[in-house]
Amino acid sequence: MTILRGRVHKYGANIDTDVIIPGAYLKEMDPKKLATHAMEGVDSEFTKKVKPGDFVVAGRNFGCGSSREHAPIALKYSGIKAVLAPTFARIFYRNAVDGSHLLPIEITDDAYSKIEKDDELEIDLQNGQIKNLSRGASYTMKPFPDIVLKIIQAGGLMNYKPDKH
């Protein structure tokens, strides 16, 4: 795994899948078209501002609500490489990892409160370190659970070969 670098789009807690990608678009099968509606329910400017490699930083329980995999897909195709939040809703987390769409990175509540919008972050996945280049600060990320790390390294669940059990 490598080092990721990008700019922050910051949101509050309980960002649900209905605001990440509203229900009316769930019939859309083209991921690029889905991306044009990413975060529409909470930030109508998001798709204009986002650049490839950017990060979403959000409060607790990111991605709560529906099982729609359209949510991490819409974020991925809008350019988001990772979402950083103190906690994630379980289906969003699974979808992000198993579908290999983006990295759900758990950070502390303190780090969440200190990172601001438009900050430039550098994430060292190998060492679990997040550098805030805009503020000269650094934070640690919670290590991925073993199975999650293996699935990420395999490039998604479809490519993952479980150990014999």
Residues in contact with other proteins by CB under 8 A are: 14, 16, 18-19, 22-24, 26-29, 40-42, 60-61, 64-70, 87, 89-91, 94-95, 98-99, 145-147, 156-158, 162, 165
Nearer to other proteins, 55 or 62 (CB): 62
Q: How far is the CB of 71 from other proteins (least distance, A)?
A: 9
Q: Which residues pair with 120 in a beta bridge?
A: 7
CB of 10 to other proteins, least distance (A): 18
Output 27 or 48, the one with its CB closest to other proteins: 27
User: For residues 91 and 123, which CB has a smaller minimum distance to other proteins in the complex?
Assistant: 91
Q: Are 88 and 104 in contact (CB under 8 A)?
A: yes
Nearer to other proteins, 137 or 149 (CB): 149
Backbone angles phi, psi at 129, to 5 degrees: -110, 140
